[in-house]
Amino acid sequence: MFTGIVTDIGTVLQTERRGDLRARIRTRYDTAGIDIGASIACEGVCLTVVQLGPDWFDVDISAETLGKTNIGGPNAWHEGKRVNLERALRVGDELGGHIVSGHVDGVAEVVGTAREGDSLRVTFRAPEELAKFIAPKGSVALNGTSLTVNEVNGAEFGVNLIPHTQEVTTWNAVAAGDRVNLEVDTMARYVARLREWG
């Protein structure tokens, strides 16, 4: 379980195909405090640590995950790519964002950006099957970042990125055409499911 509050920006050091895709990610986390088998959200994807070094960790990424996220495809992870990181929530931690599982629902596309004062307004297009779960003033996790939805227009929705968010995440480099990992709010998913049974 995560909160969508990014606590480090990692860098992909290398990727290697060995059945699954193995990725090595440099981090500022104290890796002496990370256990093999720990979960770390990488760009919003819950991945399991399988190997550790002094300033890096390795994760294995299955074909299923590659197919559901932006780790594969046009924005595939490559050496030098910067990725948002968050360690798993521990009992007693502050819940500053919203409950995020790290199970990405699909990939949204950036359709536009515009400056609004010091903030950056970003418009996304969600996959049609996920659009019904996105509501104005609701929460979404995009590339592992908990964000509030400003407006919704069909499958398109917008968020504002304040300067702090741009500074402590990879969002300062966002551009139209980017593909981003989308996890819809769990509560919205359960409400929709209950309505189906109502």
The structural domains of the chain, ordered by start, are: 8-87 (2.40.30.20), 106-197 (2.40.30.20)
From CA 44, how far away is CA 54, in angstroms rounded?
Answer: 23
From CA 28, how far away is CA 19, in angstroms rounded?
Answer: 28
Global pTM value: 0.92
Give the pLDDT mean for 33-59.
97
CA angle 6–7–10, rounded 5-degree value: 90
Give the pLDDT mean for 43-68.
96
What is the pLDDT at residue 74?
A: 74
Q: Is the pLDDT of residue 186 over 80?
A: no
What is the pLDDT at residue 191?
A: 67
What is the pLDDT at residue 189?
A: 65
Task: Give CA torsion, residues 186, 180, 154, 166, to 10 deg.
Answer: 90
Q: How confident is the model at residue 98 (pLDDT cuts 50, 70, 90)?
A: confident
> 111-152: per-residue pLDDT in tens?
999 999 999 999 999 999 999 999 999 999 999 999 999 999
DSSP state of 75: G
DSSP state of 69: S
Determine which helix (DSSP H) or strand (DSSP E) holds 131, and give its type and residue range.
helix 128-131
